[in-house]
Structure 1
Amino acid sequence: MKAILFGPFGNIYGRDKRSPFVTEGYVDINPSDAQELGVNDGDYVWIDADPEDRPFRGWQKDKKNYAFARLLCRARYYPGTPRGVTRMWFNMYGATPGSQQGQQERKDGLAKNPRTNYQAMFRSGSHQSATRGWLKPTWMTDSLVRKGMFGQEMGKGFAADIHCPTGAPRESFIKITKAEPGGIGDEPLWRPTKLGIRPRNESDAMKRYLAGDFINKK
């Protein structure tokens, strides 16, 4: 599942102690947008939304909780993302005070709570650090007429995933700031980028592969 959702760019052997897990939360960004921001493929970035209430109300006076609530993640080049738009999976386990403590204290760098073993996929923050959940009052009335999930059937009242509060996170305006280079130690580039297997940084071998040159033609 992790390979399907997050790609074959994990930290299986734990060489990068900054990575919170064998894989981690990330944001897809158009390469041109990232380059204008000085962000290389695989760099860590801060993602900040409306300071009025994100990542939570009153964060300006609560630096302790702000430290684990502010969103920090890798940025991945994705040419399929329109310019001016980023994308992040919403179902990746967010950071907590305990997971951040584990990430800072453990020799392997895993963001795992030392008391509960909860494992986060972010060093700090989560998708919800930048988004809000909205409740639609008209979807909370038992008398509301609504369509069925499949077909053209009409019904009334509660139906799972149709007639219920919609708390799923949606869109948000954000600001992206480079936090750290993607590489380990003195190496500035994230390893997949350095290997030439990522967009805008393709090696000659990758370009040949994309062009179909590895296929025998008769």
Structure 2
Amino acid sequence: MRDLTDQIAVLFGPFGDIYRRDRRSPWVGEGYVDINPDDARELGIDDGDYVWIDSDPSDRPFRGWQKDRKNAAFSRLLCRARYYPGTPRGVTRMWFNMYGATPGSHEGHTTRPDGLARNPRTGYQAMFRSGSHQSATRGWLKPTWMTDSLVRKGLFGQEIGKGFLPDVHCPTGAPRESIVRITRAEPGGLEGKGRWRPVELGLRPRYESEAMRRYLAGGFIDAGTGKEG
């Protein structure tokens, strides 16, 4: 389990913290949400900040959470927001195959001195401090249950329609979409102070250093020889 978690953490880099200098991080890598920089800035969210992601409070993260604060604490989605200009405005994206928080991983994250989101009894390692991508979605309905009168979201965005639509496999969209509210929770810098380190290093969109801009423009390659410049 732990080896596989390492692979997932590395795969979804490249801005993990292998030494875990920030004890808020659940592991050397972590689950995150891609967001358009313009949308994020309108919401007061800087690249790398931690954010809360909430959906319909009537049944998410689960029905009756208002009276069950203990389980709500590990179920509400908390993750980093990462600027991604390729994300259309009004849309965010989160990868689905990252290990969600559990009661045990949340216990580990809140009680261990190093802050690892690891179950103290089973060793299960989460990649979220709390919640997961499923915190904002409802359960599946089989495509065969989607009648011509079923109201459902469109393939992208917030359009509402009804009936069959290719690649829409459940009422909330394709494959797991939901309308959400995103609010800033904590600054992205170490221990919640200042900006996220990749931002300070000039490696992130809207904060590119001179070297990064040169790299993006192909300035490190000699067009005539194909060798590094």
Q: How many angstroms apart in 2 are the aligned matches of 1:138 and 1:30?
A: 34
What corresponds to 1:93 in structure 2?
A: 99
Q: Which runs of 5+ in 2 are unaligned?
A: 1-6, 146-169, 225-229
Alignment coverage as a number of residue pairs: 195
What corresponds to 2:220 in structure 1?
A: 214
Decide whether the 8 Å contact of 1:71 with 1:126 is kept in 2: yes
Aligned equivalent of 2:30, options 8, 21, 24: 24
Q: How do 1:92-131 residues align onto structure 2 when only pairs under 5 Å count?
A: 92-131=98-137
Q: How many angstroms apart in 1 are the aligned matches of 2:35 and 2:175?
A: 18
The residue type paired with residue 20 of structure 1 is P
Q: 2:214 is paired with a residue of what secondary structure? A: helix
Q: How many angstroms apart in 2 are the aligned matches of 1:3 and 1:51?
A: 30
What corresponds to 2:62 in structure 1?
A: 56
Q: How many angstroms apart in 1 are the aligned matches of 2:192 and 2:177?
A: 36
Q: How do 1:146-161 residues align onto structure 2 when only pairs under 5 Å count?
A: none
Deviations 1:115-142 (A, max 9, x none): 1111100000011100122222737xxx
Deviations 1:64-101 (A, max 9, x none): 11111000000000011000000001121111111011
Alpha-carbon distance, 1:63 to partner: 0.9
Q: Show structure 1 runs of 4+ deviating over 3 A.
A: 1-5
Give me the identity figure in percent: 76
Decide whether the 8 Å contact of 2:47 with 2:196 is kept in 1: yes
Q: How many angstroms apart in 1 are the aligned matches of 2:51 and 2:143?
A: 36
Alpha-carbon distance, 1:187 to partner: 3.6
What corresponds to 1:178 in structure 2?
A: 184
Decide whether the 8 Å contact of 1:133 with 1:169 is kept in 2: no
Q: 2:190 is paired with a residue of what secondary structure? A: coil
Q: How many angstroms apart in 1 are the aligned matches of 2:103 and 2:120?
A: 11
Decide whether the 8 Å contact of 1:131 with 1:169 is kept in 2: no
Decide whether the 8 Å contact of 2:24 with 2:191 is kept in 1: no
The residue type paired with residue 105 of structure 1 is T
> RMSD in angstroms over aligned alpha carbons?
2.4
Deviations 1:137-157 (A, max 9, x none): 737xxxxxxxxxxxxxxxxxx
- The verdict on how the C-alpha distance between 1:3 and 1:62 changes in structure 2, with shifts beyond 3 A counting, is closer
Decide whether the 8 Å contact of 2:10 with 2:16 is kept in 1: no
The residue type paired with residue 24 of structure 1 is E
Q: TM-score, normalised by structure 2?
A: 0.79
The residue type paired with residue 68 of structure 2 is D
- The verdict on how the C-alpha distance between 1:186 and 1:75 changes in structure 2, with shifts beyond 3 A counting, is closer
Q: Which runs of 5+ in 1 are unaligned?
A: 140-164
Q: How many angstroms apart in 1 are the aligned matches of 2:104 and 2:36?
A: 33
The residue type paired with residue 55 of structure 1 is P
The residue type paired with residue 53 of structure 1 is D
Confirm or deny that 1:35 pairs with 2:46.
no
The residue type paired with residue 57 of structure 1 is R
Q: How many angstroms apart in 1 are the aligned matches of 2:61 and 2:39?
A: 23
Decide whether the 8 Å contact of 2:53 with 2:183 is kept in 1: yes
What corresponds to 1:153 in structure 2?
A: none
Q: How do 1:160-171 residues align onto structure 2 when only pairs under 5 Å count?
A: 170-171=176-177
- Higher radius of gyration, 1 or 2: 1
Q: How many angstroms apart in 1 are the aligned matches of 2:54 and 2:203?
A: 29
